[in-house]
Each structure stands twice: as C-alpha cells, then as structure tokens.
Amino acid sequence: MTPLEIVAVVVSFAGIWLTATRRMLCWPVGFLACALYFKLFLDVRLYADMVLQALFGIAIVYGWIAWARGKDDTGDIVVAPLRLPQALAGLAAGAVGALAIGAFTSRYTDAALPWMDAGLSSFSLVAQYWTARRHSASWLLWIAVDILYVGMFVFKGLLLTAGLYAAMIALAVMGYRRWRSAASAAR
C-alpha cells in the first residue's frame, strides 16, 4: 500500500458515489482518479489497465458532454434504456477488444496478467460507455467486472485497491437500484 494507492482509492470512491447518485461532479473527480490509477498501474505493470485509465479519461470527457445534454426540465440526469441490439453489440465489442488487447500484451509486453487484465479492461470500456450513455445496465456490467477485479488486485498485492473494488460492487448495486428507480419514475 502506497500513498498514491491511498489517494487513488479515496478519489475513485468519491467519483463512483457521485456517478451512482447522478451528479455532474462525478466527471472531473473521475478524471483525477484516472490520472492517479494510470501512474499506479504503470508502477505494478498492469499495462492494459494503465491504458484503460487513459481511455477512461477520453470517455470521461465524452460522458461529461453527454450528461450535460441528457438532463430533464428539472436538471436531473435522464436514465436511457439499453436496447438488446445495443447490449449485444457492446458485449461483442468487449470480447473482440479483450482478444486483441490480450494477444498484444501477452506477446509484446511483460504484463503480469495479460489476458485477465485485457478482458477486464475491455469490458470496463463497454461499461464506461454505457454509463456515459446513461444506461442503468452499465451497473450490472460494472458489478461483474468489479468482482473479477477484486481477485486480480488481491493477487497483485494491491489490497487497498481490491478493497475499493469490493466497495465499488456495493456502489454499483446502489447505482443500479437508483438508476432503475429514476427510469421507472420518469415513465
């Protein structure tokens, strides 16, 4: 456990909580969390997750803009449905991304867990895109990904980060319930 990991955990937890409660402040806080974790993952050679943080930075800018345009008359962020074709396309893209990233990192880097890191990174991008598009289903994908991340981070000795991801599972459950409730209330 390093000071960098401690700060990254605190900032990340705040960002996820803000997202679950549909607050616009989640985006700048999330951007800072990405920068902190980029450096941490570089230090422990989880390269796919390091690159993921850079891609999350780009996705955060996109999400910030999408959420700013996705408000109702009261200023609340509107939860949008995820149609089955969109869901299947997203999951297929996640699988293709996992294979591509895994093949690259297993062959050309000294990545510690290339295939697991690649799969989790790829599906995290799908979940982040769905979050930016305001789909409550994003939280279900986050739950699945975060469960696997807990194991990977325990294995890598990043116990505080593993604890963060365990807490993120609880936040994702909360987010899913709140977003589903908001979508039901809007109907």
Residues 107-163 pLDDT 10s? 998 888 999 999 998 999 999 999 999 999 999 999 999 999 999 999 988 898 899
Question: Please, what is the average pLDDT of the chain?
Answer: 92
Burial bucket for residue 130 (CB in 10 Å: 0-12, 13-18, 19+)? buried
How far apart (Å, rounded) are the C-alpha atoms in residues 139 and 155? 24
Find the distance separating the first CA and the last CA of the chain, reported in whole Å.
Answer: 46
Name beta bridge partners: 72.
Answer: none
Query: Is-contact 38 54, C-beta < 8 A?
Result: yes
Query: Is-contact 22 178, C-beta < 8 A?
Result: yes
Give the pLDDT confidence score for residue 187 in this predicted structure.
72
Q: Encoding tokens for residue 102? A: 């895994």
Q: Answer whether residue 55 shows pLDDT above 80.
A: yes
Q: Encoding tokens for residue 109? A: 């880097």
Q: Answer whether residue 186 shows pLDDT above 80.
A: no
pLDDT confidence band for 14 (50 / 70 / 90) = very high
Task: Please give the model's pTM, rounded to 2 decimal places.
Answer: 0.87
